[in-house]
Amino acid sequence: MDSKIEKVILLGSGALKIGEAGEFDYSGSQALKALKEEGIYTVLINPNIATIQTSENIADRVYFLPVTPEFVEQVIERERPQGILLAFGGQTALNCGVKLYESGVLEKYGVRVLGTPVQAIIDTEDREKFVEKLAEINVKTIRSHAVTTVDDAKKVAEELGYPIIIRAAYTLGGLGSGFCNNAEELDALASKAFNYSPQILVEKSLKGWKEVEYEVVRDRYDNCITVCNMENFDPLGIHTGESIVVAPSQTLTNSEYHKLRKLAIRIIRHIGIVGECNVQYALDPESEDYRVIEVNARLSRSSALASKATGYPLAFVAAKLGLGYGLHELKNSVTKSTTACFEPALDYIVCKIPRWDLGKFKGVSRELGSSMKSVGEVMAIGRNFEEAIQKGLRMIGQGMHGFVANKELQTADLDTALSHPTDKRIFFIANALKHGYSVDRIHELTKIDKWFLYKLENIIAIEHRLEAFDSLEALPDALLLEAKQRGFSDFQIARKVLHPADADMERGIMQVREERKRRGIIPFIKQIDTLAAEYPAQTNYLYVTYNAVAHDIDFPKDDLGVVVLGSGAYRIGSSVEFDWCSVNAANTIRQNGLRSIMINYNPETVSTDYDMCDRLYFDELTFERVLDITDLEAPRGVIVSVGGQIPNNLAMRLQTAGVPILGTSAVDIDRAEDRHLFSQMCDELGIDQPRWRELTSLEDIYEFADEVGFPLLIRPSYVLSGAAMNVVSNRGELEHFLTLATNVSKQHPVVVTEFIENAKEIEIDAVAKDGEVLVYAISEHVEFAGVHSGDATMVFPPQKMYVETMRRIKKISRQVAQGLHISGPFNMQLMAKNNDIKVIECNLRASRSFPFVSKVLKVNFIEIATKIMLGLPVEIPHRSAFELDYVGIKAPQFSFSRLQKTDPVLGVEMASTGEVGCIGDDFYEAILKSMISVGYAIPKRNVLLSTGDSRSKTDMIGPAKALQEKGYHLYATQGTADFLAQNGVKAEVLHWPDSPEKPNTLDYIKERKIDLVINIPKNLSESELHNDYTIRRSAIDFNIPLITNARLASAFIYAFCRLDRKEIKIKSWNEY
Amino acid sequence: MSDKKAAVLILEDGTKFEGFSFGADRSVSGEVVFNTAMMGYPESLTDPSYRGQILVLTYPLIGNYGVPPFTEEDGMLKFFESDSIHIKALVVADYSFEYSHWNAAQSLADWLKANDVPAIYGVDTRAVTKIIREKGAMLGKVVVEGEPEPAEFDDPNRRNLVAEVSCREPITYGSGKYKVVLVDCGCKLNIVRCLLKRGVEVIRVPWDYDFTTIDYDGLMLGNGPGDPQMCGKTVEHIRRAMEIGKPIFGICLGNQLLAIAAGASTFKLKYGHRSHNQPALMVGTDQAMITSQNHGFAVDPSGLGPDWEPYFVNLNDGTNEGIRHRTKPFFSVQFHPEATSGPVDTEFLFDHFIENIEKYNG
């Protein structure tokens, strides 16, 4: 190790976004741990306040600041580190680091990049350099050849070999592109393409090729290992982040595996990586021909997955290698006796499945392709493919019970559903197999390797065999066992054999469970030990399988085990915050001499690092699986309140099954969850709620609308299309929504709620013991109620709230805590208008904002909550929000640019994929830091205003004046410009996108003449005018900052008009 | 399913693992060993070093890509390591009845049946492995339903397995400036291929053949099964070759034989090294390599003469992974630089051998 390195800066990845999510909390945390072990002082820059890496005792110093070159330079100037790590914070950190290198900042301050040299990073990031670099060692990449005549196109095609793909250069939307299987087809298509463009690009078509990845590690002695390879279930054409992936590869021979492995090592050596990199290949399914698709010279989503899949701590090792260690000088942290210089041998298969939330976005295309849209992923471990994939399909939490025994998806055209992949394709394969499609035909349509399809066919075959029985007694042991071994849940077996009505499902599941336990058909616990049992390992990294006859571990019945249920797949509304809560609960359990037992299956998390708890069950969070584990572990209790909604929903069922639930009782949790019970309690306590009704007919809904007036919030229980919730402003919209988007009936009631406009939204996060509130944090939203709390900008402590309002909120929360006998964390959302306070929602669990308020207040709410749940004494910290002389602001991160065609507006459905939390000396400083952290920039000169209805137009006069005074040049659409002119603000008119007149808004956006777009939607309904949509969407597509909320726009504008960028203070967390 | 035929693995210590048969209808006995490799079953099954052994694969999904065709190239089967399956029986967790690969000609089950080799699936191979790891290598039986159980546990290490698998007559492959004698104690065909790739003529001779009668340029000591102490004759010939002084390169059993010829002894490992992920450090350097291994015996280098030194050492358990002569062009390794199956990182040792030959010839 290099002894001159005493202080190191690590760049984090900022807010979670599509393509850059929780995996970087995991990799950064591991790297910091590795550095700390060496006695190095660590400085972390990451505005993502909900992460583990930004918690106490991980880094020595944490800056909640944007990961941008100018902020990082200021931190470097202040901290004067000797080294910097760029590979642990995704593309954000890498891009920032490359800029700092190119601008000479790193050299200026004498900061050395540890690990892979920056030049190597640049060589892999720049497409042309990358192709050249690999050509130097005769490694094949995917090349485009530009040609200007049909004859040249044919010549290139002959060289490359058919099929080929041609693309017309300089056209949008793939005009003139297509596949050609022979010279005739090329002739026809190329001639057409030259009509659009003088130049066409000819590429070899790799459609249907296998996609295979390798995770490679290299040290400074040139020692290389490949930690893992992975094979995509979905062939080339679908982004690997959108693909179902298995590890290790399943359909590669020894020759193919080692050919690609050898190439990967040659590449990593030639590029000069020190640390970890990922090599992606396309492999011909008919030969050993290959192409390198891309090389990632940093820790990636795939490396996080590889780490979890193998148990090999890639990020930890990569950090050590960056410090100068050799692989052979490091120990395998699982066995603790063997070396880190080895390649893990797996004796199981893992299956990663992406989690999409496309239903949350308006107008987004569901078809999968080369860009990523998924918001999270799961990893399932099994000892055969069927077991792993069925587990995985349950884990993604989209209401599916595995590969089969689901409600069949409807499609008019099954062939298209197979050949045009969407987030639902795997289930259409199930349909196809059931409807007699052969494996060959499905392979034709999907190009998925037949091996995978045969395995899926096995599941269907077992389903058919189960269907032949209609009682459990008649079901033979062998078939029951085989079904369990192939990943069938008790639910699936119950549905296939007992055919219970939905209402009786619970009883059916328990019948199956009892029956198989009676027959001794129970699962076993196996370890993940990196060496396939070759060496003894003290590993606590576990999974559950029916393909075994013995447990790998013992179960001490000492009443010291406490189970923490984790959060499952990241999704819109549930992500890294709950991981922070889970990890903190596990830490508290451990610190108090108890054994922490974590159950979670999300490979992007820190909670699934096996050194974060005493036992990690990397397995399902289903009722069945949790019971399997509690049967064996016989824990003191289970904590259901730190992992978000998934564990919360299990509370009642677990308690009924006799599992001790720690903290607030399941009955009380249910009283908060059940709308009717909760309202009843509120009524008894005299707590106000917005008026609501659960209604089953259109007439009743209209009647209720007449009673409370518009707007109304509509929550259907059955959705035909589009978002589940909506706000309607008038009768026309109500009718439109109810008839088109939903189905109202006795079976499918609709919840209609009064929607109060221009009300302040407030949240309280608190922890109570036996109904008494011990700690609390009240925050306010910048936006008015109506923007989902997950999309709102949150201020803590509140800066613009009446003391009276605060007092009333405290009183209400005390009443609720008492009424529900809360022992543990809870969160309430309220709205206030003129000191009238109404409760919107109450959750008896930790909320998304727990890490934010805990870190701003510097009081760990989860630690307190966990101690209470464990029945341990707690010290009540006497730190009050009133004493804080700084402000914390949590701001949402949106990923609209990844979601083509989506309308980037905010509404009652959450759309953000992540968030940041920054601290400032005052509101303006905090809002600037947080908004810059989520990608906004202070505009240089030109601002486009289009400010919606008259109320928001009025609201925007002040900010517009501030902009004018500050010397900004304002552009506005006609109505807004007129309104501003009447109020003494000058704005140049830009015409609507659909107008032929110039100057036009669209041209200005496309030419990037605008630095900030403010477009406020005119009403709350879905039916936004096309012009406004075009402005918003093109702002996103051309990467211009966009704000669609008047309150947020005002806050941001005032902030940058009143506070100069240079006045933003560079202060670490501990300095507040 | 009623057409499933039961089969059972019985270990010497009495433990039984029940599963189903997917190979030949035959019951057998042999030494039970485990391999942790995740691919390469056609290569492993035809590796003569597995002679007499019941092979347990820890990787559970087996048979996925079928079995390649019996294509010949350079007078050898192109996709296999010898002409036949050498294992006594195969034990896996999950057999893939359907396979999928462009180069597959038949299923693993059909191939096993054609070679009269029994096989079981549905076994918790991790549990088997843990028993062997804890108690050491042991004998076992694979008994297929309806086929009589062998009365005794057969210990293959008591036999001269090398004699069973070695070629009977010398065979010549390729042509070139240099002649390399390959002593076939049960060598894998890829050793031949690796030599041919480097443009030499290979004369493969039986294990007990007096190759010193041949005017060779280099001596290659190949891998093979069983206890090295059974190969006294080969060791004698190696001693003579050492006097001749021409380059020698040994692999696996070849390493053990060269070490014995150089004065060292060998011993049986508790459960052997059979995997694709064994790290070997080149002694005196920071160069560590991932190697493919398949051996039950190891060299104790303490008896080596002063002219010899350890070449490689295993980073996990510190056992010897190779030796070399301090002055003469003799070296050998315990791992498999010819790979197949396994990582190819140490194939450069063949180049090293050829360089030694070139140097020797001035």
Residue A542 has pLDDT above 50, yes or no: yes
Work out the minimum CA distance from B123 to partner chain A, whole angstroms: 7
Does the CA dihedral B131-B132-B138-B140 come out positive or negative? positive
Which residues from chain A sit within 8 angstroms of residue B39, using beta carbons?
248-249, 252-254, 257
Of A257, A339, A550, the CB nearest to B316: A339
User: Is the Cβ of B359 closer than 8 Å to some Cβ of chain A?
Assistant: no
Of A251, A347, A531, the CB nearest to B65: A251
User: Is the Cβ of B131 closer than 8 Å to some Cβ of chain A?
Assistant: no
Residue A975 has pLDDT above 90, yes or no: yes
Looking at chain B, which residue has its C-alpha nearest residue A222? Answer: B287
Structure tokens at B347: 């194939």
The list of chain B residues with pLDDT below 70 reads 1-2
A548:B124 CB<8 A: yes
Which residues from chain A sit within 8 angstroms of residue B40, using beta carbons?
253-254, 257
Residue A905 Cα to chain centre, angstroms: 19
**A907 phi/psi in degrees, rounded to 5:** -155, -160
Based on the residue annotation, tell me whether B252 is a catalytic residue of this protein: yes
Of B129, B286, B316, the CB nearest to A532: B129
Average pLDDT over residues A79-105: 96
C-alpha triplet A60, A43, A118: angle, nearest 5°:
150
Out of B43, B252, B295, B325, the active site residue is B252
Structure tokens at A1046: 């008047």
Looking at chain B, which residue has its C-alpha nearest residue A537? Answer: B130
In whole angstroms, give the CA distance from residue A144 to residue A200: 9
Q: Which helix (H) or strand (E) holds A888?
A: strand A887-893
Which residues partner with A141 through β-bridges?
A292
Q: Which of B207, B147, B159, B187 is CA-nearest to residue B30?
A: B159
Does the CA dihedral A193-A197-A200-A201 come out positive or negative? negative
Helix axes A675-685, A803-819, angle to 10 degrees: 120
Of A221, A342, A455, the CB nearest to B277: A342
In whole angstroms, give the CA distance from residue A607 to residue A52: 9
pLDDT digits (tens, 9 = 90+) for A991-1021: 999 889 999 999 999 889 999 999 998 765 4
In whole angstroms, give the CA distance from residue A458 to residue A453: 9
- pLDDT on residue A174: 54
Task: Give me the numbers of helices (H) and strands (E) for chain A, helices first please.
Answer: 36, 38
Q: What percent of chain A has pLDDT over 70?
A: 97
A547:B289 CB<8 A: no
Of B61, B133, B279, the CB nearest to A328: B279
pLDDT mean across residues, chain A? 93
Of A261, A287, A327, the CB nearest to B102: A287
Q: Which of A996, A1000, A1025, A997 is CA-nearest to residue A1010?
A: A1000
Neighbours of A898 (CB within 10 A): 18
Q: Looking at per-residue confidence, does B81 or A1025 come out higher?
A: B81
pLDDT grade, residue A719 (50/70/90)? low
Report the DSSP pairing between strands A164-168 and A200-204: antiparallel
Which residues from chain B sit within 8 angstroms of residue A455, using beta carbons?
96
Q: Looking at per-residue confidence, does A699 or A403 come out higher?
A: A403
Residue A1023 has pLDDT above 60, yes or no: no
Q: Looking at per-residue confidence, does A359 or B58 come out higher?
A: B58
User: What are the start-end ranges of the H helices in A103-149?
Assistant: 105-108, 118-125, 127-135
In whole angstroms, give the CA distance from residue A45 to residue A28: 11
Q: Testing the interface with A: which of B61, B95, B193, B340 to mutate, by most A Cβ within 10 A?
A: B61
Which residues partner with A862 through β-bridges?
none
Residue A365 Cα to chain centre, angstroms: 19
Residue A728 has pLDDT above 90, yes or no: no
Residue A725 has pLDDT above 90, yes or no: no
- pLDDT on residue B2: 47
Measure Cα distances from A833 to A808, A908, A996, B331 in Å.
12, 19, 44, 87
Of B103, B275, B339, the CB nearest to A534: B275
Total residues belonging to chain A: 1072
Structure tokens at B23: 């190979």
pLDDT digits (tens, 9 = 90+) for A661-686: 999 999 999 999 999 999 999 999 99
Looking at chain A, which residue has its C-alpha nearest residue B18? Answer: A549
* Residue B97 identity: F
In whole angstroms, give the CA distance from residue A482 to residue A488: 9
Residue A236 Cα to chain centre, angstroms: 23
- pLDDT on residue A882: 77
A449:B100 CB<8 A: yes
Query: Do A792 and A912 contact (CB within 8 A), yes or no?
Result: no
In whole angstroms, give the CA distance from residue B355 to residue B362: 10
Report CA dihedral (A119, A121, A125, A131) to the nearest 10 degrees.
70
Residue A745 has pLDDT above 80, yes or no: no
**A732 phi/psi in degrees, rounded to 5:** -60, -45
Based on the residue annotation, tell me whether B336 is a catalytic residue of this protein: yes
pLDDT grade, residue A176 (50/70/90)? low
In whole angstroms, give the CA distance from residue B332 to residue B311: 8
**B348 phi/psi in degrees, rounded to 5:** -60, -20
In whole angstroms, give the CA distance from residue A692 to residue A751: 7
Residue A631 has pLDDT above 90, yes or no: yes
Of B42, B278, B343, the CB nearest to A261: B343
Which residues from chain B sit within 8 angstroms of residue A451, using beta carbons?
64-65, 96, 98-100
pLDDT digits (tens, 9 = 90+) for A882-937: 789 999 999 999 999 888 788 898 888 899 999 999 999 999 999 999 999 999 99
In whole angstroms, give the CA distance from residue A944 to residue A1040: 11
- pLDDT on residue A428: 97
A454:B65 CB<8 A: no
Phi-psi label, residue A787: left if phi above 0, alpha if psi -120 to 50, beta otherwise: beta
pLDDT digits (tens, 9 = 90+) for A301-347: 999 999 999 999 999 999 999 999 999 999 988 888 889 999 999 99
Placement of tokens 């003579």 in the chain = B240
User: Is the Cβ of B289 closer than 8 Å to some Cβ of chain A?
Assistant: yes
pLDDT digits (tens, 9 = 90+) for A1027-1043: 899 999 999 988 999 99
- pLDDT on residue A10: 98
Average pLDDT over residues A127-137: 92
* Residue A916 identity: V
Work out the minimum CA distance from B116 to partner chain A, whole angstroms: 24
- pLDDT on residue A868: 98
B126:A347 CB<8 A: yes
B339:A536 CB<8 A: no
Q: Testing the interface with B: which of A258, A274, A385, A527 to mutate, by most B Cβ within 10 A?
A: A258
Q: How many CB pairs under 8 A join A and B?
A: 169
Which residues from chain B sit within 8 angstroms of residue A287, using beta carbons?
102
Cis peptide before B228 (omega within 30 of 0): no
Residue A374 has pLDDT above 70, yes or no: yes
B127:A344 CB<8 A: no
Exposed / middle / buried, residue A724 (Cβ in 10 Å: 0-12, 13-18, 19+): middle
Which residues from chain B sit within 8 angstroms of residue A253, using beta carbons?
39-40, 42, 65, 68, 101, 103
* Furthest CA-CA distance within chain B: 70
A549:B124 CB<8 A: yes
In whole angstroms, give the CA distance from residue B266 to residue A104: 60
B342:A254 CB<8 A: yes
Report the DSSP pairing between strands A969-972 and A942-946: parallel
- pLDDT on residue A128: 84
Residue A634 has pLDDT above 90, yes or no: yes
Average pLDDT over residues A965-972: 97
Looking at chain B, which residue has its C-alpha nearest residue A252? Answer: B65
Which residues partner with B28 through β-bridges?
B142
pLDDT digits (tens, 9 = 90+) for B100-111: 999 999 999 999
Report the DSSP pairing between strands B265-282 and B53-57: unpaired
pLDDT grade, residue A718 (50/70/90)? low
Q: What is the ipTM of this complex?
A: 0.97
Work out the minimum CA distance from A261 to partner chain B, whole angstroms: 8
Average pLDDT over residues A798-805: 93
- pLDDT on residue A368: 86
A532:B99 CB<8 A: no
Work out the minimum CA distance from A19 to partner chain B, whole angstroms: 30
- pLDDT on residue A188: 86
Q: What three-state secondary structure class fits A60?
A: coil
Residue A722 has pLDDT above 60, yes or no: no
Based on the residue annotation, tell me whether B231 is a catalytic residue of this protein: no
Exposed / middle / buried, residue A965 (Cβ in 10 Å: 0-12, 13-18, 19+): exposed
Of A251, A258, A341, the CB nearest to B64: A251
Residue A226 has pLDDT above 80, yes or no: yes
B36:A449 CB<8 A: no
- pLDDT on residue A201: 85
Looking at chain B, which residue has its C-alpha nearest residue A335? Answer: B316
Residue A171 has pLDDT above 60, yes or no: no
Query: Do A621 and A566 contact (CB within 8 A), yes or no?
Result: yes
B60:A383 CB<8 A: yes
pLDDT digits (tens, 9 = 90+) for B207-228: 999 999 999 999 999 999 999 9
Which residues partner with A764 through β-bridges?
A778, A828
Which residues from chain A sit within 8 angstroms of residue B64, using beta carbons?
250-251, 451
In whole angstroms, give the CA distance from residue A198 to residue A152: 13
Measure Cα distances from A5 to A83, A107, A960 in Å.
6, 15, 50
Out of B86, B273, B325, B336, the active site residue is B336
**A414 phi/psi in degrees, rounded to 5:** -65, -35
In whole angstroms, give the CA distance from residue A410 to residue A724: 19
A252:B125 CB<8 A: no
Work out the minimum CA distance from B143 to partner chain A, whole angstroms: 19
* Residue A91 identity: Q
- pLDDT on residue A591: 97
Query: Do A278 and A216 contact (CB within 8 A), yes or no?
Result: yes
What burial letters (b/e) apply to A499-530, b meaning 16+ CB within 10 Å? Answer: ebeeeeeeebbbbbbebbeeeebebbbbbbbb
